[in-house]
Amino acid sequence: MKNKNNYDYLLSDLTKLSGVGKKTMAILKKKKVNNIFDLLWRLPKSYTDRSLTSKINELQVGNIHTIKVIPLKYNFPRIRNLPSRVNCEDETGKIDCIFFNSYEGYIRKILPLNEEVTVSGKISIYKNKYQITNPTYVSKDSAVIEKVHNKYSLTEGISERTYNKIITQILKNLPILNEWHNEKILKLFGNEGWNSSIIKLHDPVNIGNYKSNFYRRLAYDEILSSFLVNSEIRKRIKKIKKVSKNFTKKPYENTISKLNFNLTNDQKNALKYINKDLSSKSKMFRLLQGDVGSGKTIVSLISALNVIESNFQVAFMAPTEILARQHFNLAKQLFPKNIKIKLLSSKSDNLEKKKIVQELKDHKIEIVFGTHAIFQKKIIFSKLGYIIIDEQHKFGVRQRKLLSDKGGKNCDILLMSATPIPRTLTMSIYGDMDVSIIREKPNHRKEIKTYSKLENKINDVINFVKKSIKEGNQIFWVCPLIEESKKLDHQSVIEKYRYLNKLFPNKVGLLHGKIDSKEKEKILNRFLNKEYLVLVSTTIIEVGIDFPNANIIIIENSNKFGLSQLHQLRGRVGRGSKQATCILLFKSNLSNNAKKRINILKNSNDGFKISEEDMKLRGFGDLLGFKQSGIKNFKLADPVHNEDLFLLAEEEIRIIEKENVDIKRYKPLLKLYDQADIINDLI
């Protein structure tokens, strides 16, 4: 009898399997197959029907046949690299089995003379005689061969026969697991159990059957396991009791009076929930998600004021030094003069850095801005009460959990992201956090006008740039490659920089990934200070830096970018009150998808709507930032095709949380789907 609930077998090393030696294991591990469970998700792509046997006089050259033959004679060559040959026959004719790189002993064992053997492989002909070169299957037991065999995307070095043997072995030993779903959920999937679903998944008749109950049940398992882990982390953080921050209206009103615009309703709502968390006795772990230019920074800074008033310190981390400096300068404008603000910068000399480190320890600094350096071990805060981390720090679930622990029980955490995420993916990526969304743009910001232009109309674009520079504007010019490529017909940044520098001598900057970080900072500062009027760059300018005077962005080969990435790039302009323009340059003969992407962008400035469309066109794996965001790499579930399952899992999580269902019920699910190491002590 199969061992009930023995998920340890599925999580065990590949060497537990018969026929898997060190060489095969090394090949599989290169493909990120680390245990038996991982192999279950390498699905068959097609199959070969070897169930019908043929006579030799019925064979067709080029086709795969299964035949029963009698080996009559061995021909083992004395010269190396020549093949071994076994003469075989049946009552209708003769055929040779040809072997390259096989030992004599092995051939004698599988093809014993004068005994009937079943052989299967592709038929060829040589000197008017049929032959099978390196037969796929050879066995005295015909039942092993006479069936439908799956074909997998094989890793080089593993034969179809070996792979099928391994999978068959796993399915035969598949443990029977206790059901973790309730009757209501099971009924939605035709009462398909986990074990039967896995077996059906590898049945060749079910290849591509994505709408079946068994496939959807397994996809739902993946989604629910991911959501459960996030839910448990969120609940654990909520249980941490802290000293609440004291809130008054005065800091808020004083700051608002310094702004030359009104907060949007979304900004006010986000601030309300953040302040509620900060003033509660439960630790805050919240994401502030907003479209580019929606005003997240102002919300985070206002929320920091009452934390400081409550005698706590604030740490504000940004992805780049120039962005940290911009936030620092904004805080100096908005905050009362008595609040002690510092910027921890690589430009500061050692004496200044030591002074800042000491003042943080002595609580002489109330809010510090910087990059990840502000969380170095040597930096000790006297009373850290609030960590704000700006966009592009795409922490995964594990990193966020560590960050939450690092701050201590009295430290609230706010992460900010400018990557709008489709509805179905919010809980997959940020389910461990509470989420506030800012969709509205500030009223003083105008929508960016977006145009598309054939690249052979470059002279029109140059004339527009010249006119814009005369009007006092600055320009971003984005190219996809650093250097020219013979294989890819893209414009390179270096070539474009040379071209534009001739038109605007000494007024063009160049920025790409191979320039070191200090030099990047210098170039960006020169652009910020208007020493450069045009900045030619790769996509590294996606990071949310404010250049209020940059009102035009030109994107080369725009058809090569995803929608979300184009939207992020476009968001680098229009940060001031002037009308901004985005020009998408493209080549002729666009694909239908490329045309759709360009038209969607021209017709919308809504990042959330754009991300939904992007996912439909490209698939969630290609969406901007998702690969770095810590999103679970789903093996079966797809947020586009399985949207209903994501919403079902979200609804089920709410019920589980409301009814306080014991997480131990889902222990096999969490163990198998490789998330349990985060919440191991809970199960």
Q: What is the per-residue pLDDT across 459-510, written as a single tens digit (0 to 9) for each?
A: 999 999 999 999 888 999 998 765 555 444 445 788 888 999 999 998 999 8
Report CA Rg, the chain: 32
State CA 374 to chain mean position distance: 27
Element (H, E) at 414: strand 412-417
pLDDT tier at 405 (50, 70, 90 boundaries)? low
Quick: pLDDT tens for 590-599. Answer: 777 778 888 8
Q: 555 — phi, psi (to 5°)?
A: -115, 115
Q: 69 — phi, psi (to 5°)?
A: -130, 165
- The CB density around residue 608, as the number of other CB atoms within 10 Å, is 16
What per-residue confidence (pLDDT) applies to 110? 94
Quick: pLDDT tens for 356-367. Answer: 999 999 999 999
What per-residue confidence (pLDDT) applies to 396? 60
Q: Would you report the helix, strand and coil content of the chain in percent, each value rounded to 5?
A: 40, 20, 40
What fold, for 250-438?
Answer: Rossmann fold (3.40.50)
What per-residue confidence (pLDDT) applies to 518? 76
Indicate the SS3 state at residue 332.
helix
* Global pTM value: 0.73
Please check whether the two domains, 51-146 and 449-604, share a CATH topology.
no
418 closest CA partner among 568, 642, 242: 568
Mean pLDDT, range 268-276, rounded to an integer: 93
Whether the pLDDT of residue 1 is over 50: the answer is: no
416 closest CA partner among 383, 446, 443, 394: 394
State CA 60 to chain mean position distance: 47
Mean pLDDT, range 659-665, rounded to an integer: 86
Higher pLDDT, 122 or 19: 122
Alpha-carbon distance of 664 to 646, in angstroms, equals 22
pLDDT tier at 137 (50, 70, 90 boundaries)? very high
339 closest CA partner among 297, 316, 309: 309
Domain ranges of the chain: 1-47+160-176, 51-146, 250-438, 449-604
Q: Quick one: tokens of 674?
A: 């490789």
What fold, for 51-146?
Answer: OB fold (Dihydrolipoamide Acetyltransferase, E2P) (2.40.50)
Average pLDDT, the chain: 84
Do 290 and 441 meet the contact criterion of CB atoms below 8 Å apart? no
- The CB density around residue 395, as the number of other CB atoms within 10 Å, is 15
Do 391 and 339 meet the contact criterion of CB atoms below 8 Å apart? no
668 closest CA partner among 194, 147, 182: 194
Quick: pLDDT tens for 294-350. Answer: 888 899 999 999 899 899 999 998 887 888 888 998 899 889 888 999 998 877 788
Q: What percent of the chain has pLDDT over 90?
A: 32
244-248, 586-590, 648-652, range with greatest mean pLDDT = 648-652
Alpha-carbon distance of 457 to 588, in angstroms, equals 11
Quick: pLDDT tens for 35-80. Answer: 888 888 888 888 888 989 999 999 999 999 999 999 999 999 988 7
What fold, for 449-604?
Answer: Rossmann fold (3.40.50)
294 closest CA partner among 391, 369, 387: 391
